[in-house]
């Protein structure tokens, strides 16, 4: 009868080409790879750490969410669970990161760049003993809010 049009994709890539596609996720199609449950995307912690400030944080859609994750960094990857640590001084940002809309934006940015859907866990670094001696009083929530406004909106305090 009538011949069907040729399929747009050729045979699957040989293994050496598949690993090259994982190394350059911008050129591959992560959505197609993610739809294949038999072949999970492999992501390495070291590569996430290297790309965090350079690629992942800038890929977050909204500027406020981007500023929340600016001070954070990935510390562990177990299976598909990524642990992201905030400095002790950024505990307010850690609380903001746990908000579902911010978590989704980070997960989407990671997926966009790696093709991997990761679940996220946020932690706050323990305060070093030397820092405890220097900082006698804890920051108030107001100071955390002011810090967030300065970072997010590039605001500056005005003295009258």
Q: For residues 16, 22, 26 and 32, what is the CA-based torsion angle, rounded to 10 degrees?
A: 100
Residue 16 lies in a domain: no
CA distance 13 to 20: 10
Digit-coded pLDDT (tens) for 24-65 = 444 333 343 344 444 456 788 898 999 999 999 999 989 999
Which residue range forms the structural domain that includes residue 142?
A: 41-152
Residue 9 lies in a domain: no
**Six-digit token string for 28:** 């591959």
CB distance 86 to 123 below 8 Å? yes
pTM of the model: 0.56
In this prediction, residue 108 carries a pLDDT of 94
Domain count, the chain: 1
In this prediction, residue 56 carries a pLDDT of 93
Domain with 82 in it: what CATH number? 3.30.300.180
Residue 27 lies in a domain: no
């Amino acid at each position: 009868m009538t011949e069907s049009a040729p399929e747009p994709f050729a045979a699957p890539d040989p293994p050496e080409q598949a690993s090259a596609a994982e190394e350059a996720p911008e050129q591959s199609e992560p959505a197609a790879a993610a739809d294949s449950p038999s072949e999970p995307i492999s992501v390495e912690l070291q590569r996430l750490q290297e790309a965090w400030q350079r690629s992942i944080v800038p890929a977050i859609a909204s500027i406020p969410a981007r500023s929340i994750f600016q001070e954070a960094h990935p510390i562990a990857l177990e299976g598909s669970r990524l642990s992201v640590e905030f400095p002790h001084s950024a505990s307010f940002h850690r609380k903001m990161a746990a908000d579902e809309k911010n978590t989704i934006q980070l997960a989407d940015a990671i997926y966009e760049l790696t093709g991997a859907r990761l679940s996220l866990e946020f932690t706050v670094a323990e305060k070093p003993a030397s820092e405890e001696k220097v900082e006698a009083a804890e920051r108030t929530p107001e100071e955390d809010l002011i810090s967030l406004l300065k970072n997010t909106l590039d605001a500056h305090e005005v003295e009258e």
